[in-house]
Amino acid sequence: MAETATTRRSRITPERQAELYEAVLDLLREVGYDSLTMDAVAARTRSSKATLYRQWGGKAELVVKAIRHHKPVDLANVDTGSLRGDFQALATRSDDCRMEQDSALMRAVGTAVHTNPDLLAALREWLVEPELAEMRHVVQRAVDRGEVRADNPAIGYVLHMIIGAFVARTMIDDEPPTQAFLASYIDAVVLPALVA
């Protein structure tokens, strides 16, 4: 019987996959998206390029799935009983060191999407759309609890606000995002926009 793509993909163990993803993120931080090559990933991870292409199809999908794997929690599974509690849980889901690393990753891919349509498409499919769906779920629970009006126009911009603050913190303040910064930003900007 012929081997299918699904059968081939299952050969990489979750532990090996995590190791590969961590190596990809390390390379991304070191050299940026444009200079990251499948050859470099193969050498760093002691893998064959054929295996990498068979498993992920290309650099864009590999990088974005590595970033997605790196996320510590699914926002949709955070339910503290209040919108503020859910957002504060979001702000504290990573320690400050990891937030600084994540900010560097987002800057690395943020500039690369302008000249790499494959990366933009992969980001939308594997990161942006799932994040939007999770955020809609969190906000919908707040609407159902009566914390937010269903017709509030700010609902459609929650992820924009949070990502914007996360990415812009270094550019504007020359400091990495921190738990304290995000918690303060959520209280000062995001919640007032939603509960107004």
CA dist 146 and 143 (Å) reads 5
The pLDDT, as a whole number, for residue 2 is 45
CA dist 117 and 154 (Å) reads 29
Q: Which CATH architecture has domain 5-67?
A: Orthogonal Bundle (1.10)
How does residue 5 score in pLDDT terms, banded at 50, 70 and 90? very low
The pLDDT, as a whole number, for residue 178 is 93
The pLDDT, as a whole number, for residue 71 is 73
- Is pLDDT of 172 > 80? yes
| Average pLDDT of span 98-117 | 86
Q: What does the pLDDT look like over 108-166, one tens digit per residue?
A: 888 899 999 999 999 999 888 988 898 999 999 999 999 999 999 999 999 999 988 98
The pLDDT, as a whole number, for residue 72 is 58
The pLDDT, as a whole number, for residue 73 is 57
Q: Residue 7: which H helix or E strand, with range?
A: helix 5-9
Contact call for residues 165 and 177 (beta carbons, < 8 A)? yes
Q: Return the domain boundaries, the chain.
A: 5-67, 71-195
CA dist 151 and 96 (Å) reads 35
Q: Which residue has the tokens 């532990």?
A: 15
CA dist 124 and 130 (Å) reads 8
The pLDDT, as a whole number, for residue 87 is 93
Q: Is the dihedral of CA 53, 58, 61, 62 positive or negative?
A: positive
The rounded Cα 161 to chain-centroid distance in angstroms is 15
Top-level class of domain 71-195:
mainly alpha
